[in-house]
Structure 1
Amino acid sequence: MSAKPSRKVAIVTGSGTGVGAATALQLAGRGWNVVINYSRSATEAQASEAACRAAGADTLLLRADVAQDADCRALATTTMERWGRIDALVNNAGVSVFGAAAGWDALDLEAFQRIYSVNTVGSFQMARACVPHLKASRGCIVNVSSIAGVLGIGSSVPYIASKGALNAMTLHLARTLAPEIRVNAVCPGLITSRWFVDGVGQEAADKLAANYERTAPLGRPSTPEDVADAITWLVEGARTTTGELLMLDSGMHMGARPAR
């Protein structure tokens, strides 16, 4: 194991695209070394790594499926072998099915098990693998959840349920890992990302975004960079914040803004 570097180290799961890539790049630009993790998007993950390197970070590019416990443990072990420390874990990897479009037949046992295995169990397995090292650094965990888990709305029942479970787990871990480790979650609403467009199609995505702009109190959906801003604050600042489920939905959880 190499000597501990002066730069802090973050593992960001699912960081080849979207929110994960934006978060890794923000942390890289703020003086962190980062682990870029992907399971399928190899080309995009390589581009994410290149951007982080250009921002000044030392990086690791690691393929791993967080649904597999051995992969989670390997992520933590390889990170420690490279840098000798882990200061932040961002559990961003996530999957869904779009049941509203596909119908109830898409919501079978296999869909539930896969979504839970990544969104909920995978986040737990990553936390378990990293906790001893995060305790040593008095670090933090940020879970990327969704307003789906708070409001009961979203792409599908399995996704909603998995994010509700992730929120509950966030509160439990915040209690049990204190005072050494802070644990919080961000709960975005609509995010204008490729993942969403791929799920519902461009036409439906455009209609949903336009509706958000008309009705959300702040009048805009989030970008991946907006969510990354909040994650970075929870990682670097927020020294007295733990057990927080931070809503990032332009105020939609309060209801639509009044007509004027």
Structure 2
Amino acid sequence: MSELEQTRVALVTGAARGIGKGVAVSLLRAGWDLVLGDVDEAAGLATAEELARLGNVEFVALDVADEASVQAALEQIEEDFGRLDAVVNNAGLSDPDTGPLEQLSLADWNRMLAVNLTGAFLVSRASIPLLRESRGAIVNIASTRALQSEVNTEAYAAAKGGLVALTHAMAISLGPDIRVNAVSPGWIDTRDSVLQRSDPLRRIDHEQHAVGRVGQPADIGELVAFLLSPAAGFITGQNLVADGGMSRQMLYRE
């Protein structure tokens, strides 16, 4: 099989559930071979088995905050596929509320940055040789919390803000061989479909979005699939906000 005929291979971290799983579904439907990386082996294997109906899926145990784990995962990908065309750095601690700043421990601060920021650095760095060979792309999943905040979210906001900055820095350093972009989701309902039906969000939750609804993982998945495609070949170093218009509203208390 020639290089042009080979199926593109993508690694999605934190892919066992939520946005990562949504990204994996979109990429599989776009014809990619998928490597799902997650620290939760049981959930990751179950997701890989579930998504196998859509295409070629492999699971690798991956703790993005552990350098040895990252290196082992990339070695396995190279051994199993011989190539890597894209990385989606999605893995992260998802609860932004770490309590009052004066009570935030250094250990909790460091853990948030290790997973949500350093993890993307470690995975990206380890992926560079394969991505440079394939002239591939990286998408970092940041957050609108990199741009605006609620109370008690300093560690999360700092990590996601750092991820946006890391994105444009890597885009300049790794171009033209590797494109690097970020996606900043807003409110995405990552609960499973059964729970969404049994415990639906309030009408006001949807109506406060300019598009009239809260987001779904597929909304982010489709945007990531576009950014990794040749159609986005002129886009790099950017942070694309996908929040249904939420962050563009001027809200005043009356």
Q: TM-score range by the shorter chain?
A: 0.7 to 0.9
Q: May I ask how many residue pairs the two structures share in their alignment? A: 246
Residue type of the alignment partner of 2:51? C
Q: Within 2, Cα distance between the matches of 1:105 and 1:46? A: 40
| Equivalence for 2:37 | 37
| Equivalence for 1:220 | 213
1:127 shift after superposition: 0.4
Q: Within 2, Cα distance between the matches of 1:147 and 1:37? A: 24
1:70 shift after superposition: 1.0
- Alignment check: 8 A CA contact 2:101 2:154 kept: no
CA deviation vs aligned residue, 1:69-97 (integer Å, no higher than 9, x gap): 11111111110011110000000001044
CA deviation vs aligned residue, 1:165-189 (integer Å, no higher than 9, x gap): 0000001001111101110000000
The more displaced of 117-126 and 21-30 is 21-30
The answer to whether residue 191 in structure 2 is matched with residue 194 in structure 1 is yes
Unpaired stretches in structure 1, ≥5 consecutive residues:
196-201
The answer to whether residue 232 in structure 2 is matched with residue 238 in structure 1 is yes
The answer to whether residue 130 in structure 2 is matched with residue 133 in structure 1 is yes
- Alignment check: 8 A CA contact 1:215 1:256 kept: no
C-alpha change, 1:206 and 1:157, in structure 2 (3 Å) is farther
Residue type of the alignment partner of 1:254? R
- Alignment check: 8 A CA contact 1:10 1:33 kept: yes
Q: Within 2, Cα distance between the matches of 1:78 and 1:43? A: 18
C-alpha change, 1:110 and 1:82, in structure 2 (3 Å) is same
1:155 shift after superposition: 7.1
Residue type of the alignment partner of 1:64? L
| Equivalence for 1:62 | 60
The more displaced of 217-226 and 77-86 is 217-226
C-alpha change, 1:154 and 1:45, in structure 2 (3 Å) is farther
Q: Within 2, Cα distance between the matches of 1:216 and 1:25? A: 25
| Equivalence for 1:92 | 90
Unpaired stretches in structure 2, ≥5 consecutive residues:
193-197
**Could you tell me the percent identity over the aligned residues?**
33
1:36 shift after superposition: 1.1
C-alpha change, 1:69 and 1:222, in structure 2 (3 Å) is same
Residue type of the alignment partner of 2:147? V
| Equivalence for 2:195 | none
1:55 shift after superposition: 1.0
Task: Give TM-score, length-normalised by structure 2.
Answer: 0.88
- Alignment check: 8 A CA contact 1:23 1:232 kept: yes
C-alpha change, 1:20 and 1:97, in structure 2 (3 Å) is closer
CA deviation vs aligned residue, 1:189-208 (integer Å, no higher than 9, x gap): 0110139xxxxxx99x946x
| Equivalence for 2:77 | 79
Q: Within 2, Cα distance between the matches of 1:155 and 1:36? A: 31
Could you say what secondary structure the match of 1:36 adopts? strand
C-alpha change, 1:51 and 1:96, in structure 2 (3 Å) is closer
1:104 shift after superposition: 4.5
1:161 shift after superposition: 0.8
Q: What RMSD over aligned residues (CA atoms) do the two structures have, in Å?
A: 2.7
| Equivalence for 2:27 | 27
Residue type of the alignment partner of 2:244? S
Could you say what secondary structure the match of 2:240 adopts? strand
